[in-house]
């Protein structure tokens, strides 16, 4: 499902009205009716609702909601946050209709909040997606009043006070239990921290032409987007049908990274996996891995990969390997850097670089432009800060912008890990993942992900599809484990072992919803 910025939504609305002749008041009517229907469905016990309406079109949506709820038998009080004489356009038309119905209207002022009477549900129709300045004064006091109430809150289009592009609160922000958004999910509610303010999300169709969404490069990953990427298993297939992944990982004390990556690759259906480790670790690796083959790689005096490893690795790659995962636990020595850079220059199959490999690339990111084959990087925010030469805090403030910039500049695919992991492509596309949970915040999860995405690359998926399916399935596996065991004590092996179930669940994933897309 595509995601919209405030500018995109503004343009879709403009074209729907001006080019396609859909009256703006029709769009407002469709929005309000859809939100009212969701409220009745989600809060079937509700007898009373309080609608807080601002002075703009978001308030107009609120008036339509109030009218439809009255029509469905609810007792509604509408609290308006502006002088009644200042309403205009479609909002004024719908306010007048509400007044003519004899609806209860309370004009808010500094003392007006004292007139509030408890409802079963609060509707936040104060401020829409166009707000990009700090909320102060009277609106701030209304927002703080609503947040202090115990009643559940339904936000209209976006929680008031939330920046629809960045997801950061503009001072005071409504904390909603449910957001009914129109046309498309908004970028600011699709990423954190905005997703936390929005609660569950419904997307309502208000009849804007779908072709106006065709060129949007932002997308929210749900099961609908990834289920067509699943690789069918032919009855006459064999292990060679599903690729051969080479994993180069490990150093003294870090052999577990290679093991977890191999598990991730096999659990997403890779036909063959070979784990290459520094030769002094090979005996340990043979004990740790059962299904995967191992290759002892010539090593440096520090028992790590280095220039001495290069020739043998290139020989192994040329012997039927279809993808390479490299980086977990390989160390960050100067010799390891030289080795990795030559692999990037000479490898002819898709490469996924993770962990120590990313730290080495960060010293000279332009090496990525010399790659013969597609390159995927899977940084966490700290590694992304090294790639960009900025602080982790700066990364977290602009995850999407930085991801797009890096992928374009260095012609690479990027998975920026974290809550709502991001996937960016050299073409400027961005995908926001919706699976995963806080229980996955433990060591080794990234190694499983590297193996899983590498496994999909080995099976022949193009890098964009491999990243999307790998990230989504990995997060979904974590959700399934959390559903079964709780979010405390989940380990990477749990997630790896659940990947087959995750892939099987994707076609009917509503059993484990993260956002409620309707």
pLDDT by residue for the chain (518 residues), tens only, comes to 999 999 999 999 999 999 999 999 999 999 999 999 999 999 999 999 999 999 999 999 999 999 999 999 999 999 999 888 889 999 999 999 999 999 999 998 767 688 888 999 999 999 999 998 999 999 999 999 999 999 999 999 999 999 999 999 999 999 999 999 999 999 999 999 999 999 999 999 999 999 999 999 999 998 888 999 998 888 999 999 999 999 999 877 777 889 999 999 999 999 999 999 999 988 888 888 888 899 999 999 999 999 999 999 999 999 999 999 999 989 999 999 999 999 999 999 999 999 999 999 999 999 999 999 999 999 999 999 999 999 999 999 999 999 999 999 999 999 999 999 999 999 999 999 999 999 999 999 999 999 999 999 999 999 999 999 999 999 999 999 999 999 999 999 999 999 999 999 998 765 433 335 53
Q: How far apart are CA 453 and CA 261, in angstroms?
A: 10
Under DSSP, is residue 124 helix (H, G, I), strand (E, B) or coil?
strand
Amino acid 379: pLDDT: 98
Rounded to 10°, the helix 89-100/24-42 angle is 50
Round to whole Å and give the CA distance between 16 and 80: 28
**Residue 268: both structure tokens together:** 């997403």
- Say how many residues make up the chain: 518
Instruction: Please answer whether residues 171 and 135 qualify as being in contact, where contact means their C-beta atoms are separated by less than 8 angstroms.
Output: yes
* Alpha-carbon dihedral 58, 63, 68, 72, rounded to 10 degrees: 120
The alpha carbon dihedral of 304, 305, 307, 312 has a sign of positive
Cα–Cα distance between 451 and 275 in angstroms, integer? Answer: 11
**Tokens 């090593």 sit on residue:** 299
Element (H, E) at 272: strand 272-278
H or E element in which residue 62 lies = helix 57-71
Strands 323-326 and 244-248: parallel
Cβ atoms 426, 408 nearer than 8 A:
yes
- Answer whether the bond into residue 503 is a cis peptide, omega within 30°: no
Cβ 321 vs Cβ 349: under 8 Å = yes
pLDDT given for residue 277 in this prediction: 94
State how far the Cα of 395 lies from the Cα of 401, in Å rounded to an integer.
9
Structure tokens, 8: 């995109």
User: Helix or strand or coil: residue 200?
Assistant: strand
Residue 156 to residue 174: CA distance in whole angstroms:
11
Tell me if residue 371 falls in helix, strand or coil: coil
Which residues have CB under 8 Å from 402's CB, separation 6+? Answer: 384, 388, 395, 416
Query: Can you say whether the dihedral through the CA atoms of 27, 429, 435, 459 is positive or negative?
Result: positive
Alpha carbon distance 515, 200 (integer Å): 5
> What Å distances lie between residue 154 and 40, 89, 200, 209, CA to CA?
11, 24, 10, 26
Question: What are φ and ψ of residue 16, in 5° steps?
Answer: -60, -40
Q: What per-residue confidence (pLDDT) applies to 510?
A: 54
């Amino acid at each position: 499902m595509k995601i919209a910025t405030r500018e995109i939504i503004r343009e879709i609305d403009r074209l729907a009205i001006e080019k396609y002749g859909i009256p703006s008041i029709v769009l407002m009517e469709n929005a309000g009716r859809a939100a009212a229907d969701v409220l009745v469905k989600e809060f079937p016990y509700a007898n009373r609702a309080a609608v807080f309406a601002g002075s703009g079109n978001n308030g107009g949506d609120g008036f339509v909601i109030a009218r439809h709820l009255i029509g469905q038998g609810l007792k509604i009080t509408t609290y308006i946050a502006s002088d009644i004489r200042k309403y205009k356009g479609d909002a004024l038309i719908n306010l007048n209709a509400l007044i003519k119905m004899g609806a209860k209207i309370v004009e808010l002022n500094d003392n007006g909040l004292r007139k509030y009477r408890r409802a079963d549900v609060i509707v936040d129709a104060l401020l829409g997606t166009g707000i990009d300045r700090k909320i102060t004064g009277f609106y701030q006091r209304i927002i703080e009043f609503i947040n202090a109430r115990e009643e559940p809150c339904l936000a209209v289009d976006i929680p008031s006070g939330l920046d629809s592009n960045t997801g950061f609160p503009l001072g005071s922000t409504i904390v909603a239990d449910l957001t009914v958004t129109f046309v498309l999910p908004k970028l600011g509610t699709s990423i954190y921290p905005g997703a936390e303010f929005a609660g569950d999300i419904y997307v309502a169709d208000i009849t804007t032409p779908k072709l106006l969404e065709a060129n949007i490069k932002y997308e929210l990953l749900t099961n609908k987007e990834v289920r067509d990427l699943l690789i069918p298993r032919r009855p006459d297939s064999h292990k060679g049908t599903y690729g051969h992944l080479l994993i180069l990982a490990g150093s003294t004390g870090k052999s577990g990274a290679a093991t977890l990556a191999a598990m991730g690759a096999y659990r997403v259906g890779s036909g063959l996996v070979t784990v290459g480790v520094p030769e002094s670790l090979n005996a340990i690796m043979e004990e740790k891995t059962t299904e995967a083959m191992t290759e002892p790689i010539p090593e440096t005096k520090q028992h790590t990969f280095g220039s001495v490893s290069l020739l043998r690795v290139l020989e192994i790659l040329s012997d039927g390997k279809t993808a390479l995962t490299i980086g977990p636990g390989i160390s960050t020595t100067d010799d390891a850097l030289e080795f990795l850079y030559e692999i990037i220059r000479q490898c002819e199959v898709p490469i996924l670089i993770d962990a120590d490999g990313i730290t080495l690339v960060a010293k000279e990111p332009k090496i990525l432009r010399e790659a013969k084959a597609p390159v995927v990087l899977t940084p966490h925010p700290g590694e992304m800060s090294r790639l960009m030469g900025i602080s982790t805090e700066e990364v977290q403030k602009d995850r999407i912008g930085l991801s797009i910039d890096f992928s374009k500049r260095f012609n690479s695919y990027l998975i920026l890990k974290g809550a709502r992991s991001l996937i960016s492509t050299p073409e400027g596309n961005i995908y926001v993942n919706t699976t995963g949970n806080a229980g996955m915040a433990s060591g080794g999860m990234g190694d499983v992900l590297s193996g899983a995405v590498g496994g999909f690359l080995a099976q022949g998926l193009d890098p964009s599809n491999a990243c999307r399916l790998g990230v989504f399935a990995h997060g979904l596996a974590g959700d399934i484990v959390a559903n079964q065991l709780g979010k405390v004590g989940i380990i990477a092996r749990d997630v790896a072992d659940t990947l087959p179930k995750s892939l099987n669940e994707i076609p009917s994933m509503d059993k484990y919803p993260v956002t409620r897309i309707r």
